[in-house]
């Protein structure tokens, strides 16, 4: 995978203010406010910054946490896990492997088959609906 690198000014020009805050400054959207939290559309979720495919809608589930949740990424190499000790907590942050966009966090309280819950900010994602034959 070829790494995509841009300056913060280039990212700021490309993204809207909320996308920039979450993806580049490691912010978060308010729970239950994201456009994909309740979405059931069949398709693939891509990184808003670099268009890398991250999650298939088939791995999405309703965790009740207020953010879109997935039990596995499309490809284990699509994201990088980073130890996050901010805000007085110990969590595992997930970032896009191609462009280093902050996506959210992964927790060990998800459903089978993985037992994982990737809790992802909607503003970091672009859902590309699957074409129906």
Is 65 marked as binding a ligand? no
What dihedral do alpha carbons 70, 76, 79, 81 form, nearest 10°? 90
Is 124 marked as binding a ligand? no
Cβ atoms of 91 and 101 closer than 8 Å: no
Cβ atoms of 46 and 65 closer than 8 Å: no
Is 96 marked as binding a ligand? yes
Token pair in block for residue 92: 């595992």
DSSP string, 37-74: SS----EEEEETTT--EEEEGGGEE--SSSS-EESS-S
Residues known to be catalytic: 119
Known binding-site residues equal 47, 50, 96, 99
Known binding-site residues for Zn(2+) equal 47, 50, 96, 99
């Amino acid at each position: 995978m070829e790494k995509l690198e841009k300056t913060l000014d280039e990212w700021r020009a490309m993204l809207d203010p909320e996308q920039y805050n979450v993806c580049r400054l490691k912010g978060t959207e308010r729970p239950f406010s994201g456009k994909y939290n309740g979405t059931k559309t069949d398709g693939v979720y891509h990184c808003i910054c670099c268009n890398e495919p991250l999650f298939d809608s088939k791995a999405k589930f309703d965790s009740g946490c207020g953010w879109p949740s997935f039990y596995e990424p499309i490809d284990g190499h699509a994201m990088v896990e980073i130890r996050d000790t901010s805000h007085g907590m110990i969590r595992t942050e997930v970032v896009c492997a191609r462009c280093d966009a902050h996506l959210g966090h992964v927790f060990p309280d998800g459903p089978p088959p993985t037992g994982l819950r990737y809790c992802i900010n909607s503003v970091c994602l672009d859902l590309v609906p699957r074409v129906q034959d």
